[in-house]
A and B are shown apart, each in its own frame.
Chain A
Amino acid sequence: MSHLEKVFETTDLLLRTEHSLCPGCGEPVALRTILELIGELGLRERTICVAGIGCYTAFPMIMDVDVLQALHGRAPSVATGVKRVRPDAFVFTMQGDGDMVSEGLQEVLHAAARGEKFTAVVFNNAVFGETGGHMTATTVLGQHTKTTIGGRDRERHGNPIRIAELIAQLDGSAYVARAAVHTPSGIKLARQYLHDAFRTQLDGKGFSLVEILTMCPTDWFVPPDQGPAFLERNLVPIYPLGVIKH
């Protein structure tokens, strides 16, 4: 064992401690991808993250960048205030589907329509993770949650919202894409989309949004190793991957 080749290391921006999220959760790898890009693009000293409320609210204390913690649903208006007074800052929001699409839908729509020059990242796992598995506005039809025990039903619970497509319709959005982190190639694409969204902001072109489908095996009621397959089978058909607007 005299010649060990380094094939992997985590970014310096992720403080060396273990995250506290569930086994099989997709959010940590999405966060690491974001922080790696911030490091590579040399943005650390300019970065202000505006965090929403969800499982990922555990991240601000392990991310070595400045974070402004917002209320549930309110990150887009808070990020608007930040970017307007600090136009040279690199500003991104971190929200879940419950935060952005359920609680704060109006916020993200208006921020996009105004063309606010920050990047919105939404981790979409189609469920309220932190509360223990309840229906959000993106829960897909047929999906079992604690408030849709028999599966989400169109008549009783309404239909899921495709936030990326909604944002893409607004004139102020400049870049919109959807990725998923359930496969290595998916993570690679997520990284590409995030990069392009960040560049959109840095070039002053307008609002950018990347929706990232993430696994939540705990609240999908499946074993951790079956999260990726569940995502592929249930979420990808409703939330197609790819660049939606650029």
Chain B
Amino acid sequence: MSERALMEGSAAMAESAVRAGCRFYAGYPITPSTEILEYMSVRLPEVGGTCMNAESEIEAIGMVWGAAGCGVRSMIASTGQGISLMQESFAELANAQIPIVAVNMCRGQADYFQATRGGGHGDYRFIVLAPASAQEAVDLAQLAFHLADEWRNPVMIMGDFLLSHTSELVEFPAAAFPEPSAKPWAVTGANGRRGITLSPLGPPEKLSTDIAAALGAATAKHAAIRAAETRAETAHLDDAELVVVAFGFPGRFARYAVRLARERGLRVGFVRPISLWPFPRDVVATAAQRARAVAVFELNAGQMIEDVELAVRGRVPVHAIGGISHDHSGFGVGPLLNVDYILERIEAVYAA
């Protein structure tokens, strides 16, 4: 059974998380992620779950760590500033291989590095997914919990003010991915077995001290994740002379501008990375092979462009056509979120 409703992206994502089996949420209010906390505070108790209005972001991620360590699907959301406070826990959650879903409703897109490189210590990676519509937020929330359990690795969903506050018709799929029935890594009380230790500092077995082996196990899967979990949307690549790359909700503005450029007869193609890590390097590389140039639209001083350049490997020029964009609120809804502006930049690069 599927259901359809007109919902804000934040509420749609939260509802989808609950339907994916999320039963614990902790958060600290901060724009533009607060709506998820509000939604969860009403919705989770209805299904026997728990929502904590934590006293700080640091305590919120600690609470999520505790619940997720017990094997309960758990989620946290904030914006970049609050996500910064969680980085120590993020790094060690990845090392301890505890699956959580973290949402960053960014102010603009300046948290690309924070999400894909991580602000914490060590060798860890988060799988990072960036939806461009409320429906994709629903679908990726389902996928995020699945991937987190599948790989025993934290997953981040990166949205922004527009995703959070734009209402769209969404359809909730029946049950995209069933939750694993057994989670032998979770702490449950040592019932019928030896006690285990769930720790970023070493293996779960008692009396074992091989930290290198434990960290190796937590990072060896990165290559497999790169191979299996790369996702991107593409359009008009067959004859594209210029390839526009953009991600997240602002990517939707770029896609619209590309469509208008096509209507004007310009051979412009489009790539929207859906997984920011792993980055769809092959998709970008293949698209660039046939093109004259690549243009990157992102609302920051130039972050994803480094991943694009790594993919293109100098074969063709890579131009930045975005930039820092804010209005007086600082929430990231700035003047560059303008299809006409993007179209002008596309035309300028195309003509060069």
Contacts and interface: CB of A to CB of B under 8 A. Distances in A.
Contact of A67 (B63, B68, B199): B199
A141 B216 CA distance: 45
B227 interface: no
A61 interface: yes
Contact of A81 (B68, B190, B199, B207): B68
Interface stretch (B52-60, B162-170, B327-335): B52-60
Nearest to B61: A77
B96 to A, nearest CB: 7
A170 B52 CA distance: 19
Interface string B191-233: 1101111111110001111000000000000000000000000
A109 to B, nearest CB: 9
Nearest to A20: B209
Interface string B22-51: 011010000000000000000000000010
A101 interface: no
B55 A84 contact: no
A130 interface: no
B199 A45 contact: no
Nearest to A89: B189
A235 to B, nearest CB: 29
Contacts of B190: 44-45, 47, 64-66
B201 A68 contact: no
B52 A64 contact: no
A223 B65 CA distance: 40
Interface in B80-129: 88-89, 92, 96
B209 to A, nearest CB: 7
B59 A110 contact: yes
A62 B197 CA distance: 10
B248 interface: no
Nearest to A80: B63
Nearest to A82: B66
A15 B52 CA distance: 36
B23 A17 contact: no
Contacts of B89: 71, 74
The 9 A-B pairs with the shortest beta carbon distances in the complex, nearest first, are: A81-B66, A77-B62, A69-B199, A81-B67, A81-B63, A78-B66, A82-B66, A66-B187, A77-B59
A107 B59 contact: yes
Given A47-B190, A106-B56, A80 B62 contact: yes
Contact of A85 (B67, B197, B208): B67
Among B60, B65, B191, B207, max chain A CB count under 10 A is at B65
A81 B26 contact: yes
Contacts of B153: none
Given A62-B206, A81-B24, A48 B187 contact: yes
A76 B65 CA distance: 11
A216 interface: no
14 contacts: A48-B188, A61-B202, A66-B187, A66-B197, A67-B187, A70-B65, A74-B65, A77-B65, A78-B63, A80-B52, A80-B59, A81-B74, A84-B52, A85-B67
Contacts of A110: 55, 59
A246 interface: no
A48 B198 CA distance: 11
A154 interface: no
Given A69-B201, A71-B92, A81 B187 contact: no
Given A66-B188, A86-B188, A78 B62 contact: yes
B24 A84 contact: yes
Interface string A186-217: 00000000000000000000000000000000
